[in-house]
Amino acid sequence: MLIREMTRQECLDLVAENHIARLGCTRDGQPYIVPIQYALAANRLYSFSMPGQKIDWMRANPRVCVQVDTGTDRQNWRSVVIHGRYQELPDTKQWHRERMNAWSLLEQRINWWEPGGLKPGEQPVAGTSPHLFFEIEIDDVTGRAASAG
């Protein structure tokens, strides 16, 4: 098996072709990783969520790591690691354009809101939903590709 470094463009292409990533955040030295759905545009990943642990942690420490991979087997795979910064996109005038951008990109997938919008157990009935949009601005990206050689 051969492993090579991927170019930045190859990394971004792989991220653009996929829509599920693992998002890692940390608080007080404790890592926390969960799968999320995202959309890529320019230098940003956009996602949708309900409030919860990962949002609390990223608010406290916006430095995050995101990993995306594809692979047919152990000898043929590509994997990308992104270091970036969390930015919430609140429903305010300042963030309106970015929020709408996130929404329009994410809604291109059917039932796009389901994985981020549902939690276990019965949820209280409320007049408004506390859902939120956020983005990860990419600081750096690296990738490795393996082939059977």
Ligand X SMILES: Cc1cc2nc3c(=O)[nH]c(=O)nc-3n(C[C@H](O)[C@H](O)[C@H](O)COP(=O)(O)OP(=O)(O)OC[C@H]3O[C@@H](n4cnc5c(N)ncnc54)[C@H](O)[C@@H]3O)c2cc1C
Among 42-50, 72-80, 97-105, 136-144, which window interacts with ligand X (CB under 6 A)? Answer: 42-50
Q: Where in 5-24 is the site for ligand X (CB under 6 A)?
A: 20
Q: Smallest gap, in angstroms, from Cβ of residue 51 to ligand X?
A: 7
Does 49 help bind ligand X (rule: CB under 6 A)?
yes
Structure tokens at 92: 């305010």
Calpha distance 5→10 (Å, rounded): 10
Which residue is associated with the tokens 């300042």? 94
Among 7-15, 47-55, 92-100, 121-129, which window interacts with ligand X (CB under 6 A)? Answer: 47-55
What one-character-per-residue DSSP string does 71-112 give? EEETTEEEEEEEEEEEEEE-SSTTTHHHHHHHHHHHTTSTTT
Calpha distance 58→80 (Å, rounded): 21
Site for ligand X (CB under 6 A): how many residues? 14
Does 37 help bind ligand X (rule: CB under 6 A)?
yes
Which residue in 74, 72, 102 sits closest to 87, CA to CA?
102
Q: Is residue 42 helix, strand or coil?
A: coil
Among 35-43, 64-72, 76-84, 137-145, which window interacts with ligand X (CB under 6 A)? Answer: 35-43
Q: Where in 85-124 is the site for ligand X (CB under 6 A)?
A: 115-116, 119
**Which residue has the closest beta carbon to ligand X?**
52
Interface residue list for ligand X (CB under 6 A): 20, 34-37, 47-49, 52-54, 115-116, 119
